[in-house]
Amino acid sequence: MPSLPAVAAETLLQRPLDGVAGLTPAVVRSLVKEGVETIADVLALLPFRHEDRQRMEGQTFQPSEAPSCHHVLVMKTGVKFFGSRRGGGNFEAVVQHTDANALGQPLTLRWWNMPFMARAIAEGQELIIHGKIKDWKGRLSMDHPEYEVIKGDEDDEAVTIHAGRITPIYRLRGSLTQKGVRLAAWHGLRALPEHFVEDILPPPKTEGEFAGWNRSRGLREAHFPSSLESLEQARRYLALEEFYLYQLRVVRRRRDVLASGGRSLKGDGRLLSAFLQALPFSLTEAQARCVKEIAGDMASNAPMNRLLHGDVGSGKTVVAFASMLTAVEAGAQAALMAPTQILAEQHARNARKWLEPLGLRVALLTGSKKEDGSGMELFGANGDRPHVLIGTHALLHDASLVHDLGLVVIDEQHKFGVAQRAKLIQQGITPDVLVMTATPIPRTLTLTIYGDLDVSTIDQRPQQGTKIVTKVRPKTKMDEAAKFLREQIEGGRQGYLVYPLIEESEKLDAGAATKGHEQWSKLLKPLNVGLLHGRMSADEKEAVMKTFRDGAVTALVSTTVIEVGVDVPNATVMYIHDAGRFGLAQLHQLRGRIGRGAHSSFCVLFVDEKDEEAKERLAIMEETSDGFKIAEEDLKRRGPGNVLGHAQSGQAPLRFAELLADTRLVRLARAIAERTLDEDPTLSKPEHVKLREFAFEARETPKEMLQ
């Protein structure tokens, strides 16, 4: 194709689909209805997988779990009506291979409840079909196959686009169809010159594994690859672009923090030593290493910006309190912000138990109260501000308590938006920042999403005498489950009963906590069964948790509101209903609520008996209690947003998340981003205008950059 000036090519990308040759008005209408209006919009709908339809199968039809592609002749058609003829009917077409030497029995194509297919397929037509062949009582059939009608020797385009090649499969919504999107992508690309879009990655591109690649080639091969090898390389190239954009942002943020100027917070060790000596246990080597790493950052003149993560029960809170004592020793105030009142109050109870004996004032500030009802007042007798301030997002709205803020600890940081974190941090004069998460984060995610932070990893758990036995079971076993739970409760233990929804939904086939509470109250009668969910007020939730902690409630029906921070050592049983609806990392967090005491614990993941996919995915929960292994598996299967629990605020979803497992690709993106900002720190050069919009304005990727 002839090359065009970049401006002309970009204009062509914005061409409306009704001006693209080869697209019928019906196809255009279906696309426009879903907001796909231009060639650029179509190209942004990258396929989520491809099917290899390059080879037509031989002279016989064979049942197989894998889809196959065939060139066939329609021998007979008909509609099998059920009920009255005004009711529904199934359309069937009996086909045979076009090869004159074809052997074996014919194949029946079936479209359930679609009698109108009789207007599209007729006897004597040649079709290209693609689908799975099944053997039903000796009869071979293919249900709802993808098909193309071959109208003659001149009509090769249908085969070229939909079959006889490595064929793109798109995620659909609304009125979109595979054929419609495929046709639009094919004809849209044909309407464009060879180089039709500006590159995101900077030169040079003449060396290494991506020599000869550019954005235009990457998009062409991502939609209609010339080979499986080329498809893989195209996906890697586009992933490199995406990771590069993220790295630009995190590298820029990191440089801004380092340039902002901090202060040295170095204490004499008096409080820290007293704290460590008073603990009823010794720090693990991993905890001690993290305390040392954090103290080193705080002692330097550069502001600390560090992530602390580790497995369930690895002891992050102790490390955080040790760091807060270092700030107090240096004469500064420390603050800890948690996402929920339950978690904030638990931190406050621990802080009071461990820190008040050292002579420190600890204050709690949440949305519903400014003290916990047990003497944790906000100010000292002389009006002195607290040394340690703990709270929820309410901390953002009460600056009267803040004085010389030296350290900000943010727990479960992914549940706070970027703006919320920044507002708390701005209440101090460039305070050190420690963000914590209870989810172990794979190395490639720390490089990508947390690339602006130094990372401390607690990769070791204290020696535990208790073990959590985890089993995946069909949800039909409820009577047995109730019997086992009752036995545990009669033995003095307690249990959690977790559901994915609060109330029943017509749209989602999943268990609800309110309905579950009714069922379990009957199953465990006369035992006291509690209910906890996110629509309760903070005071209501705390009241329920208090009755559970005190043992007045022996079984607690709950949603995932108990996912983090809830610590009831006497709870030894957890049943998770519709476990297939949860991510592996989230299941691991939930499971971490038990096994916290001296007794053996049991976690049962209930799934639909016929859901083989869920059983296979959840098998790793039976095999390991290593949160890092589970997080890696979750990353491969579901992407980074699910590993973290929530997508990062201010970050667009990663479209090539599965390639984050390729550390080499992530490191290359980081190196290119570092080089770009070394050469142009403010991204003010003309070729970096769009990059600046993304890297400096904390926006999602500008739409046109990924089209």
SS3 515: helix
Is the Cβ–Cβ distance between 240 and 234 less than 8 Å?
Answer: no
pLDDT confidence band for 493 (50 / 70 / 90): very high
Higher pLDDT, 311 or 470: 470
Mean pLDDT of 310-315: 83
- DSSP one-letter code for 659: G
Domain harbouring 80, CATH code: 2.40.50.140
Ramachandran class of 662: left when φ > 0, alpha when ψ lies in -120 to 50, beta otherwise: beta
Range of the domain at 95: 55-164
pLDDT confidence band for 11 (50 / 70 / 90): confident
Residue 617 burial (CB < 10 Å; 0-12/13-18/19+)?
A: buried
Map tokens 């893989």 to a residue.
232
Whether residue 25 is predicted with pLDDT greater than 50 in this model: the reply is: yes
Whether residue 211 is predicted with pLDDT greater than 90 in this model: the reply is: no
Displacement of CA 525 from its chain's centroid (Å)? 39
Query: Same structural domain for residues 585 and 689?
Result: no
pLDDT value at position 381? 41
- Residues recorded for the chain: 707
Displacement of CA 19 from its chain's centroid (Å)? 38
Mean pLDDT of 128-152: 84
Report how far residue 578's alpha carbon sits from residue 392's, in angstroms, rounded to the nearest whole number. 31
Query: Same structural domain for residues 600 and 503?
Result: yes
Mean pLDDT of 571-583: 91
671 in any annotated domain? yes
- What letters, b where the CB count within 10 A reaches 16 and e where it falls short, cover 49-77? ebbebeebeeeebeeeeebbbbbbbbeeb
CA terminus-to-terminus distance, the chain: 20
> Over the chain, what is the mean pLDDT?
82
Is the Cβ–Cβ distance between 499 and 512 less than 8 Å?
Answer: yes
pLDDT in tens, 60-104: 888 888 888 888 899 999 988 765 555 568 899 999 988 767 778
Q: Which of 212-216, 299-303, 561-565 is predicted least confidently? A: 561-565
Nearest to 338 by CA among 538, 501, 530, 498: 538
- Can you name the residues that pair with 162 across neighbouring β-strands? none
pLDDT confidence band for 30 (50 / 70 / 90): very high
Of the three residues 430, 458, 486, the one that is the final residue of a domain is 458
125 in any annotated domain? yes
Whether residue 596 is predicted with pLDDT greater than 90 in this model: the reply is: no
pLDDT in tens, 404-451: 889 989 887 555 555 555 666 666 667 888 988 877 887 777 776 677
pLDDT value at position 459? 83
Query: Same structural domain for residues 146 and 238?
Result: no
Q: What is the CA angle 23-29-35, rounded to 5?
A: 110
pLDDT confidence band for 661 (50 / 70 / 90): low
pLDDT value at position 548? 92
379: number of Cβ within 10 Å: 13
Whether residue 703 is predicted with pLDDT greater than 50 in this model: the reply is: no
**Phi, psi angle pair for 562, to nearest 5°:** -90, 5
Whether residue 243 is predicted with pLDDT greater than 90 in this model: the reply is: no
pLDDT value at position 262? 76
Whether residue 258 is predicted with pLDDT greater than 70 in this model: the reply is: yes
Query: Same structural domain for residues 539 and 451?
Result: no
pLDDT value at position 411? 86
Whether residue 312 is predicted with pLDDT greater than 70 in this model: the reply is: yes
Q: How far is CA 222 from CA 186, 232, 589, 656, in A?
A: 12, 8, 36, 12
pLDDT in tens, 262-301: 788 998 899 999 999 999 889 999 999 999 999 999 999 8
SS3 153: coil
424 in any annotated domain? yes
E strands, 494-639, where? 494-498, 529-532, 555-558, 571-576, 601-607
674: number of Cβ within 10 Å: 15
In this structure, what is the dihedral angle of CA atoms 643, 644, 648, 649, given to the nearest 10 degrees? Answer: 140
DSSP-derived pairing of the beta strands 49-52 and 166-169? antiparallel
pLDDT in tens, 119-137: 889 998 888 888 899 988 8
Amino acid at 450: Y
621 in any annotated domain? yes
Query: Same structural domain for residues 604 and 706?
Result: no
pLDDT value at position 56? 73
Query: Same structural domain for residues 302 and 451?
Result: yes
pLDDT value at position 419? 56
Whether residue 704 is predicted with pLDDT greater than 50 in this model: the reply is: no
pLDDT confidence band for 646 (50 / 70 / 90): very low
Report how far residue 370's alpha carbon sits from residue 360's, in angstroms, rounded to the nearest whole number. 18
Mean pLDDT of 227-248: 91
pLDDT value at position 271? 95
Is the Cβ–Cβ distance between 410 and 436 less than 8 Å?
Answer: yes
Is the Cβ–Cβ distance between 451 and 251 less than 8 Å?
Answer: yes
Higher pLDDT, 146 or 520: 520
Mean pLDDT of 244-253: 86
Mean pLDDT of 628-654: 62
pLDDT value at position 270? 93
Whether residue 570 is predicted with pLDDT greater than 80 in this model: the reply is: yes
264 in any annotated domain? no
Report how far residue 237's alpha carbon sits from residue 227's, in angstroms, rounded to the nearest whole number. 15
Residue 374 burial (CB < 10 Å; 0-12/13-18/19+)?
A: exposed
- DSSP one-letter code for 117: G
Query: Same structural domain for residues 486 and 589?
Result: yes
DSSP labels, 306-354: EEEEE-TTS-HHHHHHHHHHHHHHTT-EEEEE-SSHHHHHHHHHHHHHH
Query: Same structural domain for residues 391 and 369?
Result: yes
Of the three residues 625, 649, 683, the one that is the final residue of a domain is 625
Higher pLDDT, 543 or 378: 543
633 in any annotated domain? no
Higher pLDDT, 507 or 99: 99
Is the Cβ–Cβ distance between 80 and 111 less than 8 Å?
Answer: no
pLDDT value at position 382? 46
653 in any annotated domain? no
Amino acid at 661: A
Report how far residue 691's alpha carbon sits from residue 672's, in angstroms, rounded to the nearest whole number. 13
Q: How far is CA 182 from CA 36, 42, 45, 168, in A?
A: 13, 9, 10, 7
In the sheet with 571-576, reading across from the earlier edge strand, the strands are: 468-474, 601-607, 571-576, 494-498, 555-558, 529-532
pLDDT value at position 503? 67
Query: Same structural domain for residues 139 and 278?
Result: no
pLDDT value at position 377? 46
List all residues 6 or more positions away from 642 whose beta carbon is below 8 Å from its beta carbon: 583, 585, 586, 634
Query: Same structural domain for residues 316 and 406?
Result: yes
List all residues 6 or more positions away from 573 whose beta carbon is below 8 Å from its beta carbon: 484, 485, 488, 493, 494, 495, 496, 594, 601, 602, 603, 604
Question: Quick one: what percent of the chain has pLDDT higher than 70?
Answer: 83
Query: Same structural domain for residues 305 and 446?
Result: yes
Q: How far is CA 311 from CA 340, 564, 631, 652, in A?
A: 20, 12, 10, 26
Of the three residues 458, 479, 498, the one that is the final residue of a domain is 458
pLDDT value at position 86? 57
Whether residue 218 is predicted with pLDDT greater than 60 in this model: the reply is: yes
pLDDT confidence band for 376 (50 / 70 / 90): very low
Number of folded domains that form the chain: 4
List all residues 6 or more positions away from 338 whose beta carbon is below 8 Å from its beta carbon: 344, 347, 390, 391, 392, 411, 412, 565
Displacement of CA 700 from its chain's centroid (Å)? 17
List all residues 6 or more positions away from 353 whose beta carbon is below 8 Å from its beta carbon: none
Is the Cβ–Cβ distance between 189 and 50 less than 8 Å?
Answer: no
pLDDT value at position 509? 53
Domain harbouring 351, CATH code: 3.40.50.300
Ramachandran class of 501: left when φ > 0, alpha when ψ lies in -120 to 50, beta otherwise: beta
Six-digit token string for 135: 């053997």
Query: Same structural domain for residues 137 and 218?
Result: no
Report how far residue 291's alpha carbon sits from residue 581's, in angstroms, rounded to the nearest whole number. 37
Mean pLDDT of 549-572: 85
681 in any annotated domain? yes
List all residues 6 or more positions away from 465 whose beta carbon is below 8 Å from its beta carbon: 598
DSSP-derived pairing of the beta strands 126-131 and 68-81? antiparallel
pLDDT value at position 202? 87
